Each structure stands twice: as structure tokens, then as C-alpha cells.
Amino acid sequence: MALNESQSVNPALVVDDVVKRFGRGDEVITAVDHMSFDVAQGEFVSVIGPSGCGKSTLFNIIGGLLSDYEGAVKIGEERISAPHPAVGMVFQEESTFPWRTVIDNVAFPLELQGVGKSERMDRAHHFIDMVGLASFEKAFPSQLSGGMRQRVSIARTLVSQPKILLMDEPFAALDEQTRLLLGDKITQIQQELNQTTLLITHNLTEAVQLSDRIVVMTYRPGRVKRIVRIDLPRPRTSDVVGSDAFGHYVAEIWNDLREEASRGMADSESAASRRAAHG
């Protein structure tokens, strides 16, 4: 691993030797094991790894929702141990407020900050427009599709203008076509705002399509296996998925990932057969 692949000048976010263990005594599971990487200003970084590798734990630590960990996640000189105003989180699960309209959902963080109503509506409107839902401002989430609801969540996080956009598999529940098109939207927004973004995902296509760099994680304990720079031209669209270069990156990262994914699979299979033997 070359040094220049993992370190940037004046990074927006630094993950420095982070360790997170769960449980005590003989039952300790190390979810995140001495992970270090950083995200530069305006950069799009993905963390990819098989299910159960500790990605979501890392997401919660960086988001400040898990404060009890070793090492440091730093923004500037500040170590994160509670939700930080510079980090905006987008969750994997359906997270819109069903009792609020689209515009009131998006205006939520501004409401918490005490921004006045007309300014709140203006700013919410701007970001709703950006995610392409301008004609649905007065709709309730139940009237929208899953992909549209996820766009509402993204707009709600963007409206607070976080320095770092932190997303945990925001498209996991969506079908492949919607996922590719939403990926385009994300790329477009990221380029428009020069938005520093950290995406947690298990989807290889998505990671290569969107990222400047990809952090490949090992399966249990979660370590940094490799950091790959994606030198595909920008501005990028989902058309890039068909290109040769794209295929090379996917093949290269899959090479690393396959080993980890099969360890994960073997693990869950042996756990299942233990359960079957007991039951």
C-alpha cells in the first residue's frame, strides 16, 4: 500500500487507528481493527466490504452515534465522540418522517437550528429541486416510491450543509436500475457542491461508479485491506459502467473482495450449521 494512496494533504476527515470491540471476556468480537484512512476536501471515498465486516460500526463511529471506541476519528483537530455538525448522515433504512410532507422533512434540520420559516422553506426548496423532487414538496412520504423517499433523506441531510456527507448503503433497498440512476444524481450533486462524501457500501458497481478512492475492508476483524484510486474521468455518468477501464477496476477490487466475501460466507454457513445441530 503506497503512502500517497492513503494520505491526503489537508484532509476533511481522518480515521486514525480506530478500534472497536463489542462484548467482554471470552465473547469479544473486534468489529473494527486498527483502521486508518482519510478523506480529502471534495473527495468521494467509498468503504467497501462484505456483510458483517464492521462497515456499519465504522459508520456509527464517524457519525458520532457510537462514542466508545479506541483511536480517533478527527475533523481538523477535533476527535469525534458525539454527532458533529460537520458530518451529515444518510441512513440505510427508510428514515423520512411519515407525518411530515417532503418539504417539512427536508426543512427538519433547519427547524432544529431555529432558522426562520421563510428562509427554511427557501433552502429546503433548493435541495428538493436538486434531488429532482420539486413537484412533490407537498406530498407525504407514503405517497412516494422507495427511491424518492431516499432522495428526500439525502436532501434533508444536504440542507444542513455538512462538510462531510456520510452515507450508509443508502440505495441498498432499491433495484439496480434505480440505483444506477440515483448514482448519477449523487455524482451530479457531489460535483455541483464539491461535496466531500464518504459512502459505506457492499456494492462494487456503485463504489466504482461514484468514487475517487475505494477503501477495501477485510472480513472480521474489519481492517483496511487496500485503498484503490479510481482514475475514471469526471464528470462521470452511469455510462461509465460499460467502459473497459470500469471493468478492470471492478475485476481488480473483486479479486481482493472475493477472498473476504467467501470467508464471510463460510462463517455464516458454519454458524447456520451450528444452529441446525443445536436445534
Partner 1 sequence: MAAAGKMSLASGAPAQRDVIVLRLLVALVIFGAWEAVSRSGLFYGEVIPSLTRIWTSLIKLLGDGVFYRNLQVTTFETVVALAIGAGCGIAVGIGLGANRFLMRAFEPYVYYLSPTPRIILFPVMIMWFGVGPSSKIALGALSAFFAIALSTAAGMRQIDPVLIRVGRSFRASLWQMTLKIYLPAMRVPILNGLRLGMGTAIITVLLGETKLSNQGLGYMIMQVYTRFDMPGLYALLIVVFLLAGAVNALIGHFARDGA
Sites of contact with partner 1 (CB under 8 A): 63-65, 82-83, 85, 87-89, 91, 93-95, 97, 99-100, 108-109, 111-112, 160
Between 67 and 243, CB nearer to partner 1: 67
31 vs 240, beta carbon nearer partner 1: 31
H/E segment holding residue 56: helix 55-62
Q: Which is nearer to partner 1, 159 or 204 (CB)?
A: 159
Question: What b-and-e string marks burial along 157-191, b requiring 16 or more CB atoms within 10 Å of the CB?
Answer: bbbbbbbbbbbbbbbeebeeebbbbbbbbbbbbbe
Find the shortest distance in angstroms from Cβ 115 to partner 1: 13
For the packed helices 146-158 and 117-130, what is the interaxial angle rounded to 10 degrees? 130
Torsion on CA atoms 63, 65, 67, 69, rounded to nearest 10: -70
The least distance separating partner 1 from the CB of residue 46, rounded to whole angstroms, comes to 20
Q: Which is nearer to partner 1, 53 or 90 (CB)?
A: 90
Angle, alpha carbons 68-201-17 (nearest 5°): 35
Nearest approach, Cβ of residue 91 and partner 1 (Å): 5
Tell me the closest approach of the beta carbon of residue 100 to partner 1, in angstroms. Answer: 8
Closest CB to partner 1 among 109 and 221? Answer: 109
Strand 164-168 relative to strand 224-229, pairing: unpaired
Q: What is the closest distance, in whole angstroms, from the C-beta atom of residue 145 to partner 1 in the complex?
A: 18
